[in-house]
Copies of this chain bind each other. A is one copy, B any other.
Amino acid sequence: MPSTLETVCREALKKITPKSQERNHILKLADDLENKVKAAAEEAGIPAQVRVEGSVAKDTWLSGEPDIDIFMRVPPSISREAFGTTLLGIAKKAMRGLKQTERFAEHPYLEARVDKVRVNVVPCYEVKRGEWLSATDRTPFHTDYVKPLLNKQLSGQVRLLKKFMTGTGVYGAEIKIGGFSGYLCELLVLRYGSFAEALKSAADWKKSEVIDYEGYYKGREDEAKKIFDTPLIVVDPIDKGRNVAAAVREERLSEFVSAARAFLDKPRSEFFYPREAEAYSPKEFVQAMKLRGSALVFVKVGKVEAVPDVLWGQLYRSRRSLRKMLERFDFKVIRDGVWSNEENVNLFTFELETRFLPPIKRHLGPPVEKRAECEKFLEKHLGAERTLAGPSVEGNRWVVGIQRNHTDAVNLLSEKLKDGGRNVGVADLLSQVIARSFEVLVDEEILGLYSSDVEFAGFLTEYLKGRPKWLLSS
């Protein structure tokens, strides 16, 4: 008997809802840490309102995956610069004895670890609603807005949606993912009433769907579409000028919509708990490549000094630029990809129909009717060294067979990247690293990295299979 949506959800809910022991532990820990931050702020003479925000405050966190967000709200009289100095200092002092990492989103904050629990100590301004001074100023308002609207039942539905999104790879507003934030999940559940109803609605979302819980744009949805102009628009109940789904990339949105349909069609626990994909053995990898007959070209780059959001932004931007560059030189790109361990390896993959193109290239000239253009065209190509055939007239246009500048995609990449590739759109920080060194590898030449890095092998296997984990043939 196939599982029903109810049984699958009930089972998942059981696993993801924190039991009271875990819950009490986390709440106590959060309380302790909050008090430490309070004390440190007081000691430093900073009049900060310290409070736990986020999923712990709203009770929408997933068992085993708590993030404790502690916010320090400071008056606007304190300068922005102080965020990275005084306030960061307070956070560091409060988290003394814990493993600490300085992070940076729109402004600096501190990440600390207590066992497996991640703690973020985040500064923001204490402002009136709407008078935002920094990107995190809205967070306490979000907490205050959502908390009274949720109850135990609805919190469970939020947890289901978060877990579903995690399992299908669309959870997380960071650049790397470009997916759905926790707050966004909460708003979706509030809007649709339950996890299942949210999926049902998502399954039929149209282009630039507008979700506007407070009805700020009631009857003026088209205006909202124009203002926000993103694939999904979720108006922030506490700020009608902000789109909570601004970070959601079209691809993640499409994947979520597709996953929702697939789950509604055949509910399975794998949507919440995907199988670990098994990587191809090196031999299987070589066989898979042979079967496709395409060429996999890799650009391997070393460490880039940047926080993940910046790194991934640069990687994505550069990937797009390099793909366009390859296409501009007539290489047909089947797919592109990017992988990074966020440490010492950043790697672009371009699957090409062929690595080599023939020397001759058909180049279309002006219509014969345009006399002056024709003269210029003939002057340029007639008898030129690069002219391999023609010029001749085809239909109503001049056409010429010219020699390509680049017949080998590997040489092309090597040449365009040797100075860092800024000219072809490689992003700055990445370009600086590339200017020092990079490697272009083809097909089996990647086997060294493939054999030595399981994570990369997993990535490349999934890339080759090219199919979301949740997508199963019936």
Q: Which residues in A have some Cβ–Cβ distance to B below 8 Å?
A: 203-207, 231, 250-251, 253-255, 257-258, 261, 291-295, 334-335, 353-354, 357-360, 362, 368-369, 371, 374-375, 378, 382-383, 388-398, 401, 407, 464-468, 471-474
- Tell me, in angstroms, the Cα distance from A374 to B265 when the chains sit together: 13
Give the residue name and chain of the B residue nearest to A289 (CB).
Answer: B360
Q: Which residues of B contact A394 (CB under 8 A)?
A: 251, 335
Whether A466 and B401, one on each chain, are in contact in the complex, defined by CB atoms closer than 8 angstroms, is: yes
Q: When chains A and B are docked, how far (Å) is the Cα of A335 from the Cα of B362?
A: 8
* List of B residues within 8 angstroms of A207 by Cβ: 369, 396
Contacts of A467 in B (CB 8 A): 389-392
Give every chain B residue within 8 A of A389 (Cβ-Cβ): 292, 335, 464-467
Collect the chain B residues with CB atoms within 8 Å of residue A293's CB. 358-360, 407
CA distance A293 to B401 in the complex (A): 12
List the B side residues contacting A390 at CB < 8 Å.
Answer: 465-467
**Complex contacts, A254 vs chain B, CB 8 Å:** 368, 393, 395-397
Please give the count of copies of this chain that the complex contains.
2
- List residues of chain B with CB within 8 A of the CB of A294: 358, 360
In the complex, A255 Cα to B396 Cα: how many Å? 8
Within the complex, what minimum Cβ distance (angstroms) separates A329 from chain B? 13
A–B Cβ pairs within 8 angstroms, 30 of them: A204-B371, A251-B394, A251-B395, A253-B396, A254-B396, A257-B368, A258-B374, A291-B360, A292-B360, A292-B401, A293-B359, A334-B360, A334-B401, A335-B389, A353-B357, A353-B358, A354-B354, A354-B357, A354-B358, A378-B471, A382-B471, A382-B473, A382-B474, A383-B473, A383-B474, A389-B466, A390-B467, A391-B467, A392-B467, A393-B468
Min distance, Cβ A256 to any Cβ of chain B, angstroms: 9
A396 pairs with B231, CB closer than 8 A: yes
List the B side residues contacting A407 at CB < 8 Å.
293
Taken together as a complex, chains A and B put the C-alpha atoms of A472 and B231 apart, in Å, by 56
**Chain B residue, CB-CB nearest to A353:** B358
A472 CA to B391 CA, complexed, in Å: 10
- What residues of B have a CB within 8 angstroms of the CB of A295 in the complex? 358
Quick one: given A354-B358, A360-B292, are A258 and B393 in contact (CB under 8 Å)? yes
Rank and list the top 6 A-B pairs by shortest CB-CB distance, nearest first. A383-B473, A293-B358, A389-B466, A292-B360, A254-B368, A293-B359
Residues on B with beta carbons closer than 8 Å to the beta carbon of A401 = 292, 334-335, 466
Of A257, A291, A293, chain B has the most CB atoms within 10 Å of the CB of A293
Shortest Cβ distance from residue A430 to the other chain B in the assembled complex, whole angstroms? 23
Q: How far is the CA of A2 from the CA of B388 in the complex (A)?
A: 29
Contacts of A369 in B (CB 8 A): 205-207
Cα–Cα distance between A107 and B320 once the two chains are bound (Å)? 63
Cα A251 to Cα B396 in complex, Å, equals: 6
* Given A254-B397, A294-B360, A334-B401, 9 extra CB contacts under 8 A: A207-B369, A257-B368, A258-B368, A292-B388, A292-B389, A292-B401, A354-B358, A382-B474, A392-B466
A368 vs B258: C-alpha distance when bound (angstroms): 7
| Distance of A468 Cα from B391 Cα, bound (Å) | 8
| Alpha-carbon distance A261/B391, docked complex (angstroms) | 15
Query: Which residues of the other chain, B, contact A371 by a CB distance below 8 angstroms?
Result: 203-204, 261
A292 and B251 contact, Cβ closer than 8 Å, known pairs A369-B206, A383-B473, A468-B393: no
A360 to chain B, nearest CB (A): 4
**A472 contacts which chain B residues (CB < 8 A)?**
382
Docked pose: A390 CA to B335 CA in angstroms: 11
Which residues of B lie under 8 Å from residue A360 when comparing CB positions?
291-294, 334
- Contact in complex: B291, A359 (CB < 8 Å): yes
Q: How far is the CB of A413 from chain B (nearest CB, A)?
A: 19
Q: Identify which of A388, A393, A396, A468 gathers the most chain B CB atoms within 10 Å of its CB.
A: A393
Of all chain B residues, which has the CB nearest A357? Answer: B353
For residue A129, give the distance in angstroms from its CB to the closest CB of chain B. Answer: 34
Q: Which residues of B contact A398 (CB under 8 A)?
A: 258
Q: Is the CB of B383 within 8 A of A292?
A: no
